[in-house]
């Protein structure tokens, strides 16, 4: 999948370069004509829209010049918007480069789950010395095990988590993770694209003194063992890049693919996703991955039909 994405990007870049070169080649004769004949704007347009004109030796090239010029203007405006947006998001307090979530069902009756989270991020502004985490359960019967809450952050292998300040209830979690020192910043890590910074960190060991690796874990009870269950992740104003979400069920009671539905919800627009699925070691896995999630919610919801069948069979025996 990654190779196909990069191949598509290379083809897109090559197409842009070829198109831009063709546009410049077509634009040169009108520029030369203006320099020698000094026509007015209307006279130049009349020449360009005429099938046969004094600018080009080949008919209809003036039309092609006009079309490509309009497309070039649209493309440059799009580039300007992208650059402006990139500058805006690069100035956020914290850039999250990678997020991996695994929801593991530790009991056959799906009554207990453990959510593991690993993240890579870096600070873009000075004087940041803590991280705020919130979570809220959806099920009325769901409960958070407060003794299971763990968060540890490290920079270049050195632990920087000093303590956790929890403010949680049975159904919600609000924690501030206090660091032992102010998070470092790096102007290159802020300026470069998140994907490139992460690649340099993973492949070349760059930015190891700036990037934070954070691991967290929390356990729930009776959150996902009802007739229907939902697991969701929401990215607010600023994007989260490279997201992997994995659900790990016991094979005997986990949902089948037909019982599982995954979506990306952005306001009223919904995109249906097909998760990767496989079975291994008596467990059934579902996984979805994203290059970027921005102002949207990813939701996995399923019916526990097979759980009901398992509980019925267990009650009979």
Q: Tens-of-pLDDT digits for all 317 residues of the chain?
A: 445 556 776 777 787 788 778 888 888 888 888 888 888 888 888 888 888 888 888 888 888 888 888 888 888 888 777 676 666 666 688 889 999 999 999 999 999 999 999 999 999 988 999 999 888 888 888 999 999 999 999 999 999 999 999 887 888 889 999 999 999 999 899 888 888 899 999 999 999 999 999 999 999 999 999 999 999 988 876 677 889 999 999 999 999 999 999 999 988 899 999 999 999 999 999 999 988 887 889 999 999 999 999 898 888 76
Task: Please say which residue of 89, 104, 128 terminates a domain.
Answer: 89
pLDDT score for 244:
94
Q: Which domain holds residue 110?
A: 95-316
Of 251, 260, 198, 272, the residue nearest 230 (C-alpha): 260
Task: Please say which residue of 89, 111, 131 terminates a domain.
Answer: 89
Task: Please say which residue of 57, 89, 121 terminates a domain.
Answer: 89
**Separation of alpha carbons 262 and 283, rounded Å:** 19
In the chain, the number of structural domains is 2
pLDDT score for 1:
46
**Separation of alpha carbons 90 and 238, rounded Å:** 9
pLDDT score for 86:
64
- How is the beta sheet containing 130-136 ordered, strand by strand? 130-136, 172-179, 161-166
pLDDT score for 5:
59
Q: Can you read off the two tokens belonging to residue 194?
A: 């998140």
Could you give phi then psi for residue 250, rounded to 5 degrees?
-65, 135
**Separation of alpha carbons 55 and 98, rounded Å:** 54
In a shared domain, residues 63 and 163: no
Q: Can you read off the two tokens belonging to residue 56?
A: 């080009």
What angle do helix axes 41-49 and 2-37 make, rounded to 10 degrees?
120
In a shared domain, residues 29 and 99: no
pLDDT score for 290:
84
pLDDT score for 313:
85
Q: Are strands 94-105 and 240-250 parallel, antiparallel or unpaired?
A: parallel
In a shared domain, residues 157 and 77: no
For residue 164, what are the β-bridge partners? 177
């Amino acid at each position: 999948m990654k190779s196909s994405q990069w191949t598509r990007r290379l083809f897109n870049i090559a197409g842009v370069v070829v198109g831009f070169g063709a546009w410049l080649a077509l634009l040169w004769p009108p520029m030369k004509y203006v320099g020698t004949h000094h026509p007015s704007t209307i006279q130049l347009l009349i020449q360009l829209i005429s099938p046969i004109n004094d600018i080009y030796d080949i008919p209809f090239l003036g039309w092609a010049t006009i079309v490509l010029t309009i497309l070039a203007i649209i493309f440059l405006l799009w580039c300007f918007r992208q650059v402006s947006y990139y500058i805006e998001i690069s100035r956020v307090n914290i850039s999250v480069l990678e997020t991996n979530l695994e929801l593991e069902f530790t009991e056959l009756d799906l009554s207990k789950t453990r959510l593991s989270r690993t993240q890579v991020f870096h600070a873009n502004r000075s004087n940041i010395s803590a991280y705020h985490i919130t979570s809220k359960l959806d099920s009325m019967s769901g409960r958070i095990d407060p003794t299971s809450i763990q968060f540890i952050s490290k920079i270049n292998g050195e632990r920087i988590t000093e303590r956790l300040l929890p403010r949680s209830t049975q159904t919600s979690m609000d924690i501030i993770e206090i660091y032992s020192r102010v998070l470092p910043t790096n102007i290159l890590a802020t300026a470069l694209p998140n994907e490139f910074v992460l690649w340099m960190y993973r492949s070349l060991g760059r930015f190891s003194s700036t990037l934070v690796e954070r691991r967290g874990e929390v356990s729930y009870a009776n959150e996902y063992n009802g007739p229907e269950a939902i697991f969701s992740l929401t990215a607010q104003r600023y994007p989260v890049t490279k997201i992997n979400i994995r659900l790990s069920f016991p094979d005997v009671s986990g949902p089948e693919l037909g019982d599982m539905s995954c979506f990306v919800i952005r306001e009223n627009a919904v995109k249906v996703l097909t998760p990767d699925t496989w079975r291994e070691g008596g467990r059934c896995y579902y996984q979805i991955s994203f290059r970027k999630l921005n102002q949207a919610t990813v939701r996995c919801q399923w019916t526990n039909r097979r759980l009901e069948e398992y509980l019925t069979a267990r009650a009979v025996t």
